Amino acid sequence: MAKFRAISAVSEWRCVRGYSGRILRDSPAPRGFKVVEYHVGVPGDSSLKGKKMLFFADLHYGSIYPDTDACREVIEDISPDWVVFGGDLITYACQQDNAFRFLKGVFGSSDAVKIAVMGNWDRRRVNWYPLANWEDAYASVGFRLLVNQSFLGDGINFYGLDEPRMGHPHISRSAIRKDCLNCIVSHNSDVLIDIGLEAYDGGRQLFLCGHSHGGQVRLPFFGAFVTSGKYWKFFEYGLYCSRDTLSHMIITSGLGKTRLPFRLFCQPEFVVIYFE
Ligand SMILES: [Fe+2]
């Protein structure tokens, strides 16, 4: 029965812009990353119209060392209203201070509301580095860490889910608001499907996920081999739309690397979401 529910929940989604169809904003090669654009429609009277959100995930600081100045330049150029980090800040604890220093260097001067969630690589060290410490560390660089918590921004209701492999994600129906866009951030897209969130009554929802790394190694005409997700290639990368509710899901390939020390045909990226 659970299997049938999962299949039904997965088939609710269709990929409307995959890896080959993404829109790239100009980002010269020396920067080492791309900027990918998505355009999400909102109702005509929505206060979100014309606003921008920057989304990135899977930094795995230490597997890469992004140029702080180059990143800050791009962020200043985009001037987002919100910045969302989708988890997996680091792979190894020795890079934690450097990773937060990087976040401060890139986003320290931005007025955007900044949100973060936990990734599986972050969550696994909670036994000796408690969530309260993570919250404080994120707060020190201007980010609000959401672990099964919501935060009401200007016309948008953020909800950050805990990471499912190491943590305990949960959300109540009352956390979904009917009067504005709900932005549900979950490191791993599996949990959104398993909970069946797109069926919750409420306003339109935007789901933001990382974790898959877009496969990290992609083959031409095939795409990802490995996504580290239960639904394999179905949620590997891109912009998805729910057939029934018209909610959107964006899965990013992230910035860093794990397991293999390289990416193949799968560039590191920042995502910009334009609300139109
Ligand atoms: Fe990751």
Ligand 1 centroid to residue 201 C-alpha, Å: 31
- pLDDT of res. 29: 54
Verdict on whether the full-model pTM lies above 0.85 = yes
- The H or E element containing residue 149 is strand 149-152
Residue 161's pLDDT is 95
- More confident position, 270 or 31: 270
Residue 150 CA to residue 53 CA, distance in Å, equals 17
- Confidence label for 137 from pLDDT (cuts 50, 70 and 90): very high
Band (pLDDT 50/70/90 cuts) for residue 149 is very high
Give the position of tokens 């933001």: 208
- Section 120-138 average pLDDT: 91
pLDDT band at 105 (very low <50, low <70, confident <90, very high): very high
Q: Please give the Cα distance from 3 to 19 (Å, whole number).
A: 28
Q: How far is the CA of 88 from the centre of ligand 1 (A)?
A: 5
Average pLDDT, the chain: 90
Which residue is it, tokens 């009917």? 178
Distance linking the first and last C-alpha atoms of the chain: 39
Helix (H, G, I), strand (E, B) or coil at 162: coil
pLDDT band at 87 (very low <50, low <70, confident <90, very high): very high
266 CA from centroid of ligand 1 (Å): 14
Q: How far is the CA of 67 from the centre of ligand 1 (A)?
A: 19
Q: Give the distance, in angstroms, between the CA of residue 46 and the centroid of all CA atoms in the same chain.
A: 23
Q: Please give the Cα distance from 158 to 149 (Å, whole number).
A: 8
Max mean pLDDT range (101-115, 118-132, 228-242): 101-115
Q: Using one digit for the tens of pLDDT, what is the confidence trace for 203-212?
A: 678 999 999 9
Using a 10 angstrom Cβ sphere, with 0-12 exposed, 13-18 middle and 19 or more buried, the burial of residue 198 is buried
Residues with CB under 5 A from ligand 1 (ion): 58, 88
3-state secondary structure of 92: coil
Average pLDDT over residues 158-173: 91
Spatial separation of the C-alpha atoms in residues 27 and 83, rounded to whole Å: 19
- Residue 105's contacts (CB-CB under 8 Å, 6 or more residues apart) are 68, 72
126/109: higher pLDDT? 109
pLDDT at 27 over 70: no
The yes-or-no verdict on residue 139 having pLDDT over 90 is: yes
Q: Which domains does the chain have, with CATH numbers?
A: 2-24+33-275 (3.60.21.10)
Q: What is the pLDDT of residue 200?
A: 66
